[in-house]
Amino acid sequence: MLNRRKFIAATASASVLAATQASAHVLGQPYVLPEEYTPRIVRIREEFIAGELYVDPNQFAIYWTLGESRAMRFTVGIGRAGLYHSGEFYVGRKQEWPDWRPTPAMIKRDPDAYLDFAEGGIYENGPQPGGISNPLGARALYLYNVNTRRDTYLRIHGTNNPRTIGRAVSNGCARLINPQVEELYAMVPNGTRVVLFPKAGAGPSHSSL
């Protein structure tokens, strides 16, 4: 897998980003998505070709490469401790307003959170239909294993909860606010290569960029 130090030209210091993310999530405060979370074009290393996705969990960022040493950068929420999975994948399927049901592993970890899918629950016999209250939001990119060609149950998807952006809160997926995932979805075709870099401690830190 590609080493993240070869990829991203640093665009901001880790301390500034951390301070912004912390102040954005004060409970009880009206939430306004920070300006720093607005998608923007950034410079990247010249060896990266156009049309690939890279997730950097240490910056809570996903990059869509544009070619000519440029990429579109989006701010994302990522998998919480122990549930983030680095590696190389590809987009095996795309879906607008996808339906959703928790995986067996999710139900086992937190059965109380998924009572709707237990015996007698409203979604006992099927998935939750797509819609604004669906955890996958407006769009989903389904990540498949490059070797087995099977669904990994990892997703890049939307959310109607902007407070989760810039945080490690999910069951392993990367999430964007719905308007931004719609923008990304429109650009990314099926078959796109996707690289999820390791978290700090498992690979080079931000300071090595």
Query: In this structure, is residue 120 part of a structural domain?
Result: no
Query: In this structure, is residue 81 part of a structural domain?
Result: yes
| Domain, as residue range, for 12 | 4-98+136-208
With residue 147 as reference, give the H or E element that holds it: none
Domain count, the chain: 1
* Separation of alpha carbons 17 and 23, rounded Å: 10
* Separation of alpha carbons 66 and 115, rounded Å: 43
Identify the bridge partners of residue 40 per DSSP, sorted by sequence position.
73
pTM, to two decimals: 0.81
For the stretch 143-197, pLDDT in tens is 999 999 999 999 999 998 999 999 999 989 999 999 999 999 999 999 999 999 9
For the stretch 68-126, pLDDT in tens is 999 999 999 999 888 999 999 999 999 999 998 888 888 888 888 888 888 888 888 89
What's the N-to-C CA distance of the chain in angstroms? 17
**Residue 186 or residue 46, greater confidence:** 186
Which of 159, 174, 160, 201 minimizes the C-alpha distance to 80? 174
pLDDT at 41: 97
Query: In this structure, is residue 108 part of a structural domain?
Result: no
